[in-house]
Amino acid sequence: MPELAEVYFHAGKWKAWQGQSFSLLHVARNKRCCRSFDVSLGRKEFCDLPLTAGFTHGKRMLFQFGVTLFLEVHLGMTGSLRAEANWQELAHDHLVLKGGEVFLVFNDPRQFGRVALSHSQGIPTWWEELPPEPGSARFDFPHLQVLCRRRSKAVIKSFLLVQDSFPGIGNWMADEILWQARIDPRRRVGSLSSDELALLYKKVRYVSREAVKRIGSDYSDPPASWLFRHRWKDGGVCPKTGRPLVRETIGGRTTCWSPHWQL
């Protein structure tokens, strides 16, 4: 289920074990999601190293072990992390770290996620140079204007899913933002009026931050007033208009929106 807030939630389960030392116990080297994982580096270096820090950026996670060893994790479509006292092996457990009385597990049935191990003197530069997250202070209105100018011909729904521009925003968040901003997902970015752009900005910020607040801490559902609660229900109805929601593929992704509300 991982978008911005879910990623934050999963990272928290591992981060809770900062200070504990870990060793590599198991890695499914033949699985697609482990193809970037250097097994020999893991076996040799990943031995009794303390979990020093954990970071998230958009849909990415980075865990630091010791001083120079870094584990990057992406959850793809179906990935999840867990921490448990005894490793009760489940189908699709692809990476397991053991430390004292706890096991850190990466599980991913569809294997669209990935894990990778690397050395770096301190936080890697590429991590520090990632573009601003939509909820961060650096993501100000002029920043959004620049992004829009650069892709004025793009369909707005697809635009919101580009991770270089909106790190962490995924399919349901994009639909939520457009619904709250009352913008038809099929519109072109360049067609937005300045009022619409201002409202879009507001909603990008609000949905990103509120999602982390709600889901990031305990995986609770977003507010009842959001589209989120209605979007996958058969015969789902727009909470604003009381009329049926529409589902259609836009930019290759199923999109849910409310005609008469989103213009």
- Polymer length of the chain: 263
Whose Cβ is closer to DNA: residue 51's or residue 157's? 157
- Within 19-78, which residues bind DNA (CB under 7 A)? 32, 58-59, 74, 76-78
Strand residues in the chain grouped as ranges (E): 21-27, 49-57, 60-65, 69-74, 80-84, 93-99, 102-107, 114-119, 246-250, 253-257
Q: Which of 19, 235, 242, 252 binds DNA (CB under 7 A)?
A: 252
Q: Which of 99, 135, 170, 216 binds DNA (CB under 7 A)?
A: 170
Residue 187: count other Cβ atoms within 10 Å of its Cβ. Answer: 17
Report, in Å, the least distance between residue 112 CB and DNA. Answer: 4
Report, in Å, the least distance between residue 18 CB and DNA. Answer: 25
Name the nearest CA neighbour of 211 among 110, 98, 126, 133: 133
Q: Which of 12, 124, 247, 261 binds DNA (CB under 7 A)?
A: 247
- Within 83-102, which residues bind DNA (CB under 7 A)? 91-92
- Within 201-240, which residues bind DNA (CB under 7 A)? 232
Give the per-residue contact string, 107-146, with DNA (x = CB under 7 A; - = no): --xxxx----------------------------------
Report the C-alpha gap between 152 and 159 in whole angstroms: 9
Report the C-alpha gap between 81 and 2 in whole angstroms: 11
Whose Cβ is closer to DNA: residue 67's or residue 90's? 90
Report the C-alpha gap between 178 and 202 in whole angstroms: 11
Element spanning 251, H or E: none
How is residue 83 annotated by DSSP?
E
Q: Catalog residues that contact DNA under the rule CB under 7 A.
A: 1-3, 6, 32, 58-59, 74, 76-78, 91-92, 109-112, 151, 153-155, 158, 161, 163, 170-172, 232, 247, 249, 251-254
